[in-house]
Amino acid sequence: MSGFEALPPAIPRRSPEAVALFNAVLTSELLVNACWSKAQSGTTGLDWPAAFLILPLTLHPPTRESLPRDRRITLARWAVRQTDLLADMNFRVANMAQPTKRAIRRGLRVGRLGLEGTTLVALKRPKQSTKGWPDELQQSIKAARFCGQWFNVTDTHMAYELLGIGG
């Protein structure tokens, strides 16, 4: 030995803002809400790949605010009208992959999410929002529930195509 030990690689640090906004408690609860909503209006939870679309759709304020209020508007119809907004969706989905993975792991670890094959399911009913919750939190949860319902009528691979991801 030469007396010089190899240093372990540096652990990448997330900014305090990213830690606060993308904390695993919040993000896993958004996934729980999407899974629950999908199961309530359909037959099962969220396909594993679809989970990676929930956070980019619900945490990005302009995207969240542009989501339709009318449940009859499909993802396809909405996406066609949001070309400018969706121009960077490929980047946002890639950027949110790690927070999504952390959210899934946390949800599984604490028993809020479960896996049935490759389907992510909510194991417990999500809490209903109250007037004491911040507006942004209420809006994000509402958006997650709405997006969960979209996946009852849109196949996951089609959602990726409509949102311009991976192409």
Say if CB 31 and CB 46 are below 8 A apart: yes
Domain limits of the chain? 22-162
CA proximity to 50, closest of 40, 61, 39, 66 = 39
Token pair of 108 as six digits: 């599984």
Amino acid letter for position 141: I
Q: Which 3 state secondary structure label does DSSP give 47? A: strand
Task: Walk across the sheet containing 119-122 and list its strands.
Answer: 46-47, 119-122, 113-116
Task: Please give the helix or strand (H or E) that residue 121 lies within, else none.
Answer: strand 119-122
- Give residue-wise pLDDT tens across range 3-18: 555 555 555 554 444 4
pLDDT per position as a tens digit, 37-65: 999 987 788 999 999 999 999 999 999 99
Does the pLDDT of residue 21 top 60, yes or no?
Answer: no
This prediction has a pTM of 0.85
| Per-residue pLDDT tens digits for 74-128 | 999 999 999 999 999 999 999 999 999 999 999 999 999 999 999 999 999 998 8
